[in-house]
Structure 1
Amino acid sequence: MSERLRQTNELMSRQVSRNVLEEEEEHLTLGQRVADRVAAFGGSWPFIFTFGAIMATWMMINILRLANFDPYPFILLNLVLSTLAALQAPVIMMSQNRQSSKDKLLAENDYQVNLKAEMEIS
């Protein structure tokens, strides 16, 4: 019981609202920042349009035989797409894992703020 009282007194004496996302951003590694940026770009409309244009150009060049480096059925294009998917999937998963940890921090902060508000009201 004394531990609970100590935690309650500590909670009442300090400010519990804070920007946990800003605090988290300060401690990111280079790999985490790169993963977030790649995931953000890979899930954007500019990426979809650019990638579609590159694929269409690749196929047109080979269909019209302007350069016959990857004739139909586009085996090299298939390899490029598979490699891109193999690289992009883990990067997106890393970014999702980080988002999950951010959500946990936000939930914990919300709980602390709500608990303090409830204690002040009652």
Structure 2
Amino acid sequence: MQPEFVNSSPHHPVVVAHQAQRRADVQLRIADAITAFAGSMPFVYIHAVLFTVWMVFIEPDPWPKLTLIVSLEAIFLSTFVMVGQNRQAAFQQAKADHDFTEQEQELKTNTQLTREIHVLTTELHRRLVEDAGR
């Protein structure tokens, strides 16, 4: 017997839909790119080199400007982190809703199958009892 639905994607349907939505929105693609870069080691290395060069070679008293720049950068990066957390929460909710719907459908199907098996078993028992009585 062939299954009714064969998922050709290795990912959950909610994941596929979520990825398609993200690809379609330019702002989300930009936010994803910034978040991916900001969470990488190249980001750390670049900052370490730039701040070192700036403090040693460019600015004789780097602390006031450095404090300002690092504070502003932290504000923007923390905002990107919160945006990412909100997107992740929305994705998790969509997946949970999808899973709940699928589980409810599975429960209904299993309940219906159990009822049909009960009816068939009762009928089979009735026929066996009648045949034994003859």
TM-score, structure 2 as length reference: 0.62
**Count of aligned pairs between the two proteins:** 101
- Unmatched 5+ residue regions in structure 1? 1-13, 62-66
Matched, 1:72 2:61: yes
Matched, 1:95 2:89: no
Name the counterpart of 1:85: 74
Of 79, 90, 94, which aligns to 1:105? Answer: 94
Q: Percent identity?
A: 25
Name the counterpart of 1:53: 49
- Unmatched 5+ residue regions in structure 2? 112-134
Q: What's the offset of the Cα at 1:73?
A: 4.8
Paired amino acid for 2:101 = Q
Of 3, 18, 21, which aligns to 1:24? Answer: 18
Tell me, in whole angstroms, the C-alpha distance in 2 between the residues paired with 1:37 and 1:92: 12
Matched, 1:40 2:36: yes
Q: How large is the RMSD of aligned CA atoms in angstroms?
A: 2.4
Tell me, in whole angstroms, the C-alpha distance in 2 between the residues paired with 1:84 and 1:55: 13
Q: Is the 8 A contact 1:35 1:92 kept in 2?
A: no
Name the counterpart of 2:103: 114
Tell me, in whole angstroms, the C-alpha distance in 2 between the residues paired with 1:60 and 1:81: 17
Paired amino acid for 1:57 = V
Tell me, in whole angstroms, the C-alpha distance in 2 between the residues paired with 1:118 and 1:45: 47
1 or 2, which has the higher helix percentage? Answer: 2
Q: What's the offset of the Cα at 1:119?
A: 2.4
**Segments of 4+ in structure 1 off by > 4 A?**
none
Paired amino acid for 1:24 = H
